Amino acid sequence: MPLTCIIVDDEPLAVRLLESFVNKTPDLQLVGSFTDSVEAINVIKELKPDLLFLDIQMPDMSGMELAHVVPAETKIIFTTAFKEYAYESYEVSALDFLLKPIRYNKFISAVEKARQWFGHKLNNQNNQNNLNIQNTQKEPHGKQETVFLRVDGEFRQVALSKIIYVCGMKDYVMFYLSDEKRPLITHLTMKSVEDMLPSTLFMRISRSYIVALDKIKSVDRNECVYIGDEIIKVTDAYHEKFISYLNSRFPGSK
């Protein structure tokens, strides 16, 4: 799987060394090199490379500052002469840390780590897409009773009756279950979860929450839903649908 990359380092010699490493590494495509971190920002945001080889100590904007504005899909491999930056690099989810002077064998090791990360991500997406298709298919002789979730590298079959609510957090969602102390965390979007769960049993009531309708304890006058140990406000975008549901169940509600 070819990986695109950009190099950002204020030292021209360091840039040329990394360029030579990239050019002799199979399936690694260089799409840009910069000695000015500020100049690199727009190109990185536009091209969204798979990898960014990024120096940390640079004038105007440091590599650590730049790391906070790169696209989420771009993985960072820091390059620096100062090993004390190693801990900071992992605070911004850097894929690897190369200490100067960089040797080719260390460079290859970091690239291989990137290949494994992107390969694992692609497999997860393919597996989850297949499961989503299976979970959303109509069952000809019965109703859907479970969903499969990929949690910590394995597939868990979860009974719909155990799900209390689902909470979204960026590219991950947390399933809160009646028989689990901690939520199950899996790499999904809220939209895919909404499509996966049967609409007769579950409803999205805000951007970040989907609730099991039969697990709702009460709804107060401010349209806050009490469910499990959580109090969730029904937001405007989902207000009409939720009130319609309440009216269908309790004709006297407003």
HEC string for the chain: CCEEEEEECCCHHHHHHHHHHHHCCCCEEEEEEECCHHHHHHHHHHHCCCEEEEECCCCCCCHHHHHCCCCCCCEEEEEECCHHHHHHHHHCCCCEEEECCCCHHHHHHHHHHHHHHHHHHHHHHHHHHHHHHHHHCCCCCCCCCEEEEEECCEEEEEEHHHEEEEEEECCEEEEEECCCCCCEEECCCHHHHHHHCCCCCEEECCCCEEEEHHHEEEECCCCEEEECCEEEECCHHHHHHHHHHHHHHCCCCC
Q: Say if pTM beats, i.e. exceeds, 0.85.
A: no
Please give the single-letter amino acid code of residue 27.
D
The pLDDT score that the predictor gives to residue 59 is 86
pLDDT tens for the chain, 254 residues: list them.
689 999 999 999 999 999 999 999 988 999 999 999 999 999 999 999 999 999 988 888 888 888 888 888 899 999 988 766 555 544 556 788 898 899 999 999 999 988 888 876 555 454 445 555 455 444 444 567 888 888 877 888 899 999 999 998 877 899 999 988 888 988 888 998 998 899 999 999 999 999 999 999 999 988 999 999 899 999 999 999 999 998 887 665 44
Q: 51-55 and 75-80 as β-strands: parallel, antiparallel, unpaired?
A: parallel
Tokens of 31: 């799409």
Q: Which residues pair with 223 in a beta bridge?
A: none
The pLDDT score that the predictor gives to residue 252 is 54
Please give the single-letter amino acid code of residue 228.
G
Please give the single-letter amino acid code of residue 247.
N
The pLDDT score that the predictor gives to residue 141 is 43
C-alpha 53, offset from chain centre? 21
The pLDDT score that the predictor gives to residue 139 is 45
